[in-house]
Chains A and B, each alone.
Chain A
Amino acid sequence: MHGLAHRRTTATIAAAAVAALLAACGSDTKPSTTTTGGSSGAPASGQSITYWASDQGSSIADDVKVLTPELKAFTAQTGIKVNLEVIGWNDLLNRILAATTSGQGPDVVNIGNTWSASLQATGAFLPVSSDVMTQIGDTGRFLPGALAATGAAGKPPVGVPIYSTAYGLYYNKAAFAAAGIATPPATWEDLVADGKKLTDGAGKWGLTLEAGQIPENAHAAFVFSEQQGGSWFDDAGKPTFTTPQNVAAIKQIVDFMAADKIVNPSDAESSNGTEALQEFASGKAAMLMWQPAGANLAKYGMTADQYGVAPLPFPASPPAGSKHIDSMVGGINLAVFANTKHKDAALQLVKFLTSQPEEITLNKAYGSLPSVSDAYSDPAFKTSDDTVLQNVLASSATAMPEIAQESQFETSVGTAMKTLFADAASGKAITDAMVGDALNQAQQKMEAGG
C-alpha cells in the first residue's frame, strides 16, 4: 500500500512536471496579443526593459562605453531602467530568431535595416503605425531614404531608423600621390587602372575587400547588379539570380581579385568585418569600399587627413537599363518586440534614442550618419567625407529588396561569392559559366527556404 501510494505521488509529480513544461512551452510560443492595447496600465516609470544593441563600434566593450552614459541619462529622465546587451553581428540575427521562436526576447532591439522585410514577415516586431509614430515624436524628421528601409512597401514598418550609412570609396591620399594619381576613380575602368598602378607585387595592393564576409559580398552584389541593369528579384518577388546582368555583376567583383589582380588573394579569408579596414589603415591596400569608416580607421591609427572619400565608381559605358546607384541604403533600425510587456517604456526609449541630441551624440561616436534631418545642424556632420556620403544617401542610394526573402538572398549570394573568391584566390580563372552555376545553386538553395 505504501509503495503504491508512493508510486502514485511520484507519478503525479512527474505528470505535473511534464504538464508544467508543456504549459511553459505553450505560453512561450503563443504571441501575446494583450500588448497591442499599450498605453493603459502601470506607468512606465520604475519599469525595467532590455535593449539589445548591435555592435557599432570597434568592439562590444566600446559600444557599452558609448551607450551606458546615454542610457543612464534616459533612466534619470524617465525612471525607466534599461538592461543593455551589445550583440556582435555574427550572432545578432540568430539571437533575434531565437527570441522570436521562444517569445522570450528583449523589449527593444537593433536590426540591420536590410533584414526589415524578412523580420517583418515573422510578425515578431511591433508594427510602427501612425499612432506609434506620433507617440515617438515623429514630425517628418526621419530621412525618407532611411525610412524606406524599414519594411516592405504597403505594410506598416517594423522599426525606425537610428543610424544611417552608405558606401563610399575610401582612398589613401599618400599612396595616390606616390602613384601619380590626381583624383579618385570615377569609373570602374579607372579604378582597375589605378589599382594596377597601386599594386606593387610586394605586399601593397590597389583595393581590399572583405571577401569572406557574407553581408559585405551581398551588398556589393546588389549595387553592381543595379549598375549592370540587373535585379535579383522580379516584380512578383521570384528570384532571378542567373540573369546575364547578375552574372556580369558578380564576375566584375570577383575579377578584381581573379583577373585584374588588384586585390590580395588573402582577402578571400577575411570574414570578421575588420580585416579590410586594417589592411587599408595600415597602408597595405590603397582603396576600400566601406560604409562610414572614419571612427574605426582612427582606432587603427589612420587620421582623417590621410584618406579621402568619393562615391563608388560607375561603368564608363553603362549597359542598357543601368541605374545610377552607388550604394545600398545602409543603417540600423530600432524595433520593438511585439511580445514586450513594457510597450510604453520601450517606445519612450525609441523616442529618446532618435531624439536630436542622442542622434548627434551616438552617430558622432560611431562615425555613422544621423537618420533624422534635424541632427545634421551639428558641425560634426558637415565634414567633406560626411557630405559625400550624405549626398550618396540622398541621391544615388537605394534600399536592398524589401521582401521577406532578403536575408536569404544575402546568405545564398554572399556564400556563393565567398566560394568564387576562394576559387579566385587559389589561382583559378573565373568564367561566366562558373558564376552562372554558383548563382544557380544559390537560387535553388534560396528557394528551399520556402
Chain B
Amino acid sequence: MTVATDRGRSLRRLAAADRRRSTRHKALPYLLLLPAVCFELLVHVIPMLVGVWISFKQLTIYFIRNWTGAPSAGLNNYRFALNFNNAVGKALLHSFYVTLGFTVLVVALSWLIGTGAAVLMQNPFRGRGLLRTYFLVPYALPAFSATITWEFMFQRDHGLVNQVIVHDLHLTSHAPFWLIGNNAFASLVITAVWRTWPFAFLVVTAGMQSIPTDLYEAAVMDGAGVWQRLRKITLPSLRPVNLVLVLVLFLWNFNDFNTPFVLFGNVAAPQANLLSLQIYDTSFQNWNFGSGSAMSVLLLLFLLVVTAIYLVATSRGRKAADV
C-alpha cells in the first residue's frame, strides 16, 4: 500500500516538475521557428497582401512609377472583372471555363498515365530502373526548353507533328493548324500532360513502396487476379497519396502560366486562353495592374474555396471509412 502511494506521489511530483519545465521550454520551438515565420511573411504573405491592396487601386500607366499614390478604385476592379456583359468580363468567364476544362483533362490524364506506368513498373524486371529514370525526363527538363520544343513540333509548315500526320501517314491532305484555332486547346493539353504525368508517376511509385508485399502474397494465395489486386489492394492503399496528388496537380495546372505562354506567346487563341494568360494580358498588355490584381485575387479565392471543399469532402470520406 505505502509503496503504491509513494510511487503515486513521486509520479505526481515528477509530472509537476515536467509541467514546469515544459512551460519554460514551450516557447523554445516557437522562438526557433520565428525567423522562418518572418521570412515566410516577407516572401509570401506581404507580397500577397500588397497584391490584394493593389486590387483596390486604380493602378494604370499614370501611376506605376509612384504606385503608392495610385487613387483608390474601391470595388470597381472587381465589378469590372465580374461584369460579364463587358468584353473583358466575358473574356474572363470564357477563360475560366477553358481553364477548368483544361485542368480537369490534364489532371485526369496525368493521373491515369502516371498511375498506369507506376503499376506496370511495380514488379522488378531487367531495365526497370532505366525505364523509371527515362519516364522522369520530361519532369526534369526545364519548362521553357521542353515547351518550346513542342512549339516547334506543332508548327504548321515545318513542324514534326504535321510531318508525321500529313506527309508520312497521309491521314489528312490538308495540314491542320495546331497553335491557332480549335486545335490549340488540344496542343495545350498534350503539352501539359506530357509535362505533368511524370510527377504523378513519381508520387504514385513512392506511395507503392509502402504497400506491404505480403498483402499481395496473401491475395494471390486467395486466388485474386491482377485486376482484383489493383482494385482491392493497390488503389485503396494509395488513397491518401492520391488525395494529395490530385489536389496538387489541380492547383498547379489551374495556375499554369509557362506552358501557354511559351507555346502561344503573349496572345493565345481564344480556344486556349487560360486564366493566367488572361490576367497577364490585363496587367502587362493593357497596363492595368489594378484589375489584373483583382482577377488574381478572384482566382486565389476560387482556388481556396475549391481546396477547402475538397479537403472537407475527402476528410469526411476518410472518417467514414475509418468507422
Q: Which residues of A contact B (CB under 8 A)?
A: 3, 6-7, 10-11, 13-14, 17-18, 21, 26, 29-31, 90, 94, 97, 100-101, 103, 118, 121-124, 212, 214, 264-266, 268-269, 271, 404, 407-408, 411-412, 415, 418-419, 422-423, 425-426, 440-442, 444-446, 448-450
Contacts and interface: CB of A to CB of B under 8 A. Distances in A.
A343 to B, nearest CB: 17
Contacts of B281: 411
A426 B181 contact: yes
A422 B88 contact: no
Interface string B58-74: 10111011111000000
Contact of A100 (B41, B65, B177): B65
A417 to B, nearest CB: 10
Contacts of A100: 64-65
Contact of B34 (A14, A97, A268): A14
A6 B177 contact: no
Chain A binding surface SS class: helix
Contact of A425 (B28, B65, B180): B180
Contacts of A124: 65
B263 to A, nearest CB: 11
Contacts of B249: none
Contacts of B130: none
B35 A10 contact: yes
A26 to B, nearest CB: 8
Interface residues of B, number: 48
Interface string B175-190: 0010111100000000
Given A10-B35, A21-B42, 8 more contacts: A14-B34, A124-B65, A266-B156, A268-B180, A415-B285, A449-B61, A450-B58, A450-B290
B24 interface: yes
B207 interface: no
B8 interface: no
Nearest to B38: A14
Nearest to A21: B42
Contacts of A418: 267
Contact of B35 (A14, A29, A103): A14
B65 A17 contact: no
A124 B66 CA distance: 10
B42 A17 contact: yes
A450 B67 CA distance: 15
A94 B284 contact: yes
7 contacts: A17-B38, A121-B62, A124-B65, A415-B267, A426-B182, A441-B91, A445-B87
